[in-house]
Amino acid sequence: MSTTFVEFGGAASARFSLSQLMAHVRVPLAAWSRRRRWVVALLIAAVVFGLGTHGWVVADFGGVEASRAALEAATRHLADARRALAQLPALRREAAAKPGLQLPASWTSADDVRIVSELATQNGVSLLSLEPGAVSGSGAQSMRPIQLAAHTDFVHLMAFFRGLSDLPVLIVPVDVTVNRDAASLGVRATLHVFSALRPATSAATDSAPADAFADETLDSEEEEDIVFFDPFSLPQMLAPGELQSDASELRLVGLLHDRTRGLALLDTPDGATTVVSGQQLGAERVTRLDALSITLANGGGTRTLALTEAS
């Protein structure tokens, strides 16, 4: 037989201790003991220090995370460089084994004219003249200029310049001038031929014709998201009922515009000219000029010339 003793004053003692604790907490600050003040101050300091340390780590004021990321990037770059260095001998052997890189023992100006003429024929460029000049420099700096004059359109011109990178010698176009005439584009350019240098190897082995360039390269989804457009086409924005011949007389080729003033560059039958807002241009007057177009007024009618844009 067991006997259990119940202390009837237990609940009262608990309530008494809680009331004592509450009374102790509610003691005014001036009545606190020195030990209590030190304990509270240390607790506040610990909380502030913990929050400050957490904020320092999160904000990365010390640059630890940035340094770690930079170290990881440098490690990846070093690994990529080592892999590329390991592949270099195989790439050299592959490049030396390609038959397309074998050149005649003596490369002459006739060879320059031949490969440029063949490239122009492949890409629909009608050559008017092709005049090689004298060689300057020596070794890798040896260069022969070729003066080129031709008629073509913009797509075939782009295909021709793109095909220069597929030739067996390095040919760099400089001083290119393109003018629009009634039916096509007149092109004049100086080609610098470096017969001792080779262009970077491209993915394609043969020069792509102009039609393939227009249909595949420009519109291929596998290429980068780049849109080519013809800056020499006629303006697309015309006033209602305006004749196409009127649009061909003036062409907007450039604009400079800020908050207060603007300047437009026009291609006219008499040559290039610049106009500002309010200026008279033949029978028309420039009434509006913004960042993309100009508006011309002639009596009661108006028309807009806009820069040709890629849509």
Which residues partner with 129 through β-bridges?
149
- Written as six digits, the tokens of 293 are 């177009």
Chain position carrying tokens 């300057």? 136
Residue among 112, 234, 250 nearest 172 (CA): 112
- Other CB atoms within a 10 A radius of the CB of residue 157 amount to 24
Rounding to the nearest 10 degrees, give the CA dihedral for residues 237, 242, 244, 250.
Answer: -70
> CA–CA separation, 21 vs 43, rounded Å?
19
The boundaries of every CATH 3.30.70.60 domain in the chain are 109-217
Q: What is the mean pLDDT of residues 173-183?
A: 81
Fold of the domain built from segment(s) 244-306: SH3 type barrels. (2.30.30)
The boundaries of every CATH 2.30.30.830 domain in the chain are 244-306
Amino acid at 67: S
Sheet holding 185-194, edge to edge: 126-132, 144-152, 185-194, 170-180
pLDDT band per the 50, 70, 90 thresholds, residue 291: confident
**First-residue to last-residue Cα distance in the chain:** 100
- pLDDT, tens digit, for every residue of 256-285? 877 778 888 888 877 888 888 888 887 888
- pLDDT, tens digit, for every residue of 86-127? 988 888 787 666 655 455 567 788 888 899 999 999 998 989
Which residues partner with 127 through β-bridges?
150
Total residues belonging to the chain: 311
**Highest mean pLDDT pick, 32-41, 148-157, 297-306:** 148-157
Count the helices and strands in the chain (H runs, E runs). 7, 11
pTM of the predicted model as reported, rounded to 2 decimal places: 0.42
The per-residue pLDDT of the chain, averaged, comes to 76
Pick the CATH number of 109-217 from 3.40.50.300, 3.30.1360.120, 3.50.50.60, 3.30.70.60: 3.30.70.60
Residue 15's pLDDT is what?
Answer: 59
Residue 189's pLDDT is what?
Answer: 92
